């Protein structure tokens, strides 16, 4: 079977500062908070990205200095941005692993989508049926932004 070539497309997420100092909170939803570019010392801006549900995420290696080692680097993955991946090899891997299940069907993964956040010191891959929402919040820290987002 011919596998389509993956392609990473920037989704136009709010720009991240360097370093973005990300914070992840995984409960029923997945929230990712990162420092936005353009903030000031008096009023920092933070971005809260939220996936209302998620099937899988992995966070860590590679950092920006080793981003070329990411399997999607040769398919358009760039520094300090958020991408959606067309023809995701990670979703294909999940399908393959799930085939051990007696009631598996590839159709279970038909609506799954793949996003990649390329931070300075880590990379985040997320598989979810829903696209992330983004909110820019003035706050003193990532934790403060998360608290403001939850109560807003």
pLDDT above 80 (res 69): yes
**pTM for the structure as a whole:** 0.90
- How many angstroms separate the CA atoms of 130 and 90, rounded? 16
Q: Between these two residues, 40 and 58, which has the higher pLDDT value?
A: 58
Is residue 85 over pLDDT 80?
yes
Which band of pLDDT confidence, cut at 50, 70 and 90, is reported for residue 106?
confident
What's the pLDDT band for 151 if we cut at 50, 70, 90?
Answer: low
Instruction: Classify 125 in phi/psi space as left (phi over 0), alpha (psi -120 to 50) or beta.
Output: beta
- Quickly tell me which residue has 């609506």 as its tokens: 111
Q: What is the pLDDT of residue 150?
A: 67
Compute the mean pLDDT over every residue in the chain, rounded to the nearest whole number: 90
60 pLDDT higher than 60? yes
């Amino acid at each position: 079977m011919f596998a389509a070539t993956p392609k990473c497309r920037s989704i136009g997420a709010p720009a991240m500062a360097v370093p973005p100092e990300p914070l992840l909170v995984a409960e029923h939803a997945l929230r990712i908070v990162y420092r936005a570019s353009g903030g000031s010392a008096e009023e920092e801006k933070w971005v809260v990205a939220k996936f209302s549900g998620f099937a899988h995420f992995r966070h860590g290696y590679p950092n920006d200095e080793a981003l070329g080692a990411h399997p999607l680097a040769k398919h358009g993955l760039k520094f300090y941005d958020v991408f959606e991946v067309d023809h995701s090899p990670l979703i294909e891997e999940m399908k393959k692993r799930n085939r051990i299940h007696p009631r598996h069907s590839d159709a279970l993964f038909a609506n799954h989508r793949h996003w990649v956040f390329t931070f300075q010191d880590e990379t985040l891959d997320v598989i979810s049926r829903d696209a992330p929402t983004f909110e820019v919040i003035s706050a003193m820290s990532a934790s403060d932004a998360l608290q403001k987002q939850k109560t807003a």
